[in-house]
């Protein structure tokens, strides 16, 4: 089954069906129509998958996706055109340009936490770049996956189907998910020398400086951490702050949680659930041995975990060893900005870093002395929303980038083209043998 899908995609590509710009635009527009027409069903599927609020689905997934599609439709001719580059003296009268070309058959493996955006955004770029695509949504967001299968030709399935797919030869693999599977994907790709984009996760730190409007900082952080029940790859994973402001941070988050979800988040229509029992147990186990400063309640029958904050978490605690990917927010205290920078830099390069401060020097130092896939200052996650910015990780948080034109470029081959005329043969004579003094003087 999987083999047939790949074979069909390969045949389509080789027959040149995915190449004409008109075809790409038509595909993109039908994707756009599908999302607009089925918005209600998509929101319902996500409600069933993770109790996502009906209001959040357009806001968090569909608007961004539609923006990506309209951008690609309006800019496609420009993106796909030859890009003239500087010439040398020897090529002054020739044509020298870079021609973006489709790579071939692209495999897209999506994750469950934002199953529409994370599966279809790479697809937008794959289509725009003229590739044939094979799409494999996550089996864990099962309602979304089966709805997507009704609307678009995708390969559904879990580990064994994905592994079967990975045995096939592709021209690019675009994977979103955890880094353990990321390594398996890269290994499988290496067998065919297939390039990969790996959109992975990790622990994204959030530093709160003492010179800051804490009310605003806490509101923004609380939203980014607890939206989608903490299951967001660029959610602030943990807070770093000085001990002197820790209690005020907790208080700011407490007030905000009350504003957002009321006194009982469990009954709030805006608060989500954990994707499945296995992940629920995993997140709860991270909390073992801690007393929550806020929250801490759970109900396994609903896969509910209250928005939870834990204070004074030791740097070597299990909560600080792996990505949480759930609604637990540890606070680790640091003595100052140097300590915070040191803390971040001695760990793996994160997918995102957040810094909240009114002090320009603090911001400047955090930007200059750390690295991460992306960064937002004085807010969380917002760098993701701009399709002019490349989105992706660095080091353990991933490789490659996408969004907007970056996806088009990521899924294109940039062919170096030099088109000469048959004239000016005297110039070439210089390097033809036989070499002798007379020729050199000529």
Active site residue: 61, 199, 242, 323, which one?
199
Q: Crossing angle of helices 243-261/214-226, nearest 10°?
A: 60
Identify which of residues 136 and 405 has a Cβ nearer to ligand NAD in the complex.
136
CB of residue 70 to ligand NAD, shortest distance in Å: 21
| Paired residues of 419 in beta bridges | 95
Q: Are 119 and 108 in contact (CB under 8 A)?
A: yes
Contact status, residue 258 vs residue 218, Cβ threshold 8 Å: no
Helical packing angle, 39-50 and 21-37, nearest 10°: 60
Task: Report how far Cα 357 is from the mean position of its chain's Cα atoms.
Answer: 26
238, two tokens: 């943990």
Known active-site residue 218: no
Q: How far apart are the first and last CA of the chain?
A: 67
Provide the minimum distance between the beta carbon of 12 and ligand NAD in the complex, in angstroms, as a whole number: 23
Q: Residues in the site for ligand NAD, rule: CB under 6 A?
A: 109-113, 118, 136, 138-140, 158-159, 162-163, 176-178, 181, 184, 199-201, 233, 323, 325, 351, 393, 398
Distance CA 264, CA 317 (A): 29
Output 190 or 216, the one with its CB closest to ligand NAD. 190
β-pairing, 172-176 with 196-199? parallel
Q: Indicate the residue among 178 and 268 with the shorter CB distance to ligand NAD.
A: 178
Q: Strands of 95-102's sheet, edge to edge?
A: 83-84, 95-102, 412-419
Rg, C-alpha atoms of the chain: 25
**Nearest CB to ligand NAD, comparing residues 281 and 297:** 281
If 0-12 CB within 10 Å is exposed, 13-18 middle and 19+ buried, where does residue 294 land? middle
Write phi, then psi, for 218 (nearest 5 degrees). -65, -35
CB atoms within 10 A of CB 82: 14
**Active-site hit among 206, 229, 233, 241:** 233
Instruction: Confirm whether 233 is a catalytic residue.
Output: yes
Residues 6+ positions from 235 with CB-CB distance below 8 Å: 204, 224, 225, 227, 228, 325, 380, 381
Write down the least CB distance from residue 201 to ligand NAD, Å. 2
Q: Kindly state the smallest distance separating residue 325's Cβ from ligand NAD, in Å.
A: 5
Instruction: Closer to ligand NAD by CB, 32 or 232: give it.
Output: 232
Shortest gap between Cβ of 307 and ligand NAD (angstroms)? 19
| Shortest distance (Å) from residue 119 CB to ligand NAD | 9
Q: Which residue has the tokens 């629920």?
A: 280
CB of 234: closest distance to ligand NAD in angstroms?
Answer: 7
Looking at beta carbons only, is 183 or 414 nearer to ligand NAD? Answer: 183
Residue among 45 and 363 whose Cβ is closer to ligand NAD: 45
Closest CA relative to residue 68, chosen from 19, 116, 136:
116
Handedness of CA 70, 235, 345, 335 (dihedral sign): positive
Token duo for residue 58: 């357009």
Residues serving a catalytic function are 199, 233
């Amino acid at each position: 089954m999987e083999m047939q899908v790949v074979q069909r995609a390969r045949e389509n590509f080789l027959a040149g069906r995915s190449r004409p710009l008109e075809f790409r635009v038509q595909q993109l527009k039908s994707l756009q129509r599908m999302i607009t027409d089925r918005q209600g069903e998509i929101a319902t599927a996500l409600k069933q998958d993770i109790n996502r609020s009906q209001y959040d689905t357009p806001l968090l997934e569909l608007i961004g996706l539609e923006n990506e599609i309209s951008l690609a439709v309006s800019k496609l001719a420009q993106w796909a055109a030859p890009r003239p580059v500087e010439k040398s003296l020897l090529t002054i009268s020739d044509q020298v340009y870079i021609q973006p070309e489709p790579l071939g058959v692209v495999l897209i493996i999506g994750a469950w936490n934002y199953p529409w955006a994370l599966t279809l955004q790479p697809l937008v770029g794959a289509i725009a770049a003229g590739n044939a695509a094979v799409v494999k949504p996550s089996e864990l967001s099962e309602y979304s996956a089966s709805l997507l299968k009704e609307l678009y030709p995708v390969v559904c399935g879990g580990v064994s189907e994905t592994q079967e797919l990975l045995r096939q030869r592709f021209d690019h693999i675009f994977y979103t998910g955890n880094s353990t599977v990321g390594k398996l994907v890269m290994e499988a790709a290496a067998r065919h020398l297939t390039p990969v984009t790996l959109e992975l996760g990790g622990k994204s730190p959030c530093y709160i400086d003492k010179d800051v409007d804490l009310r605003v900082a806490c509101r923004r952080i609380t939203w980014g951490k607890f939206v989608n029940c903490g299951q967001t790859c660029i959610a602030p994973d943990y807070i770093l702050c000085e001990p002197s402001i820790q209690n005020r941070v907790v208080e700011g988050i407490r007030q905000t949680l009350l504003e957002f979800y009321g006194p009982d988040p469990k009954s709030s229509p805006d608060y989500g659930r954990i994707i499945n029992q296995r992940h629920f147990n995993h997140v709860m186990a991270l909390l073992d041995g801690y007393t929550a400063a806020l929250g801490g309640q759970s109900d396994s029958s609903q896969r509910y975990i209250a928005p939870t904050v834990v204070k004074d978490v030791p740097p070597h605690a299990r909560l600080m060893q792996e990505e949480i990917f759930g609604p637990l927010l540890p606070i680790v205290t640091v003595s100052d900005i140097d300590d915070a920078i040191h803390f971040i830099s001695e760990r793996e390069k994160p997918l995102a870093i957040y810094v909240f401060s009114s002090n320009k020097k603090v911001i400047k130092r955090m930007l200059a002395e750390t690295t991460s896939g992306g960064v937002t200052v004085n807010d969380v996650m917002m760098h993701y929303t701009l399709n002019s910015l490349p989105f992706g990780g660095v080091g353990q948080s991933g490789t490659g980038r996408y969004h907007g034109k970056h996806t088009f470029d990521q899924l294109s081959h940039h062919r170096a083209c030099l088109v000469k005329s048959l004239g000016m043969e005297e110039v070439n004579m210089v390097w033809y043998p036989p070499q002798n003094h007379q020729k050199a003087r000529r």
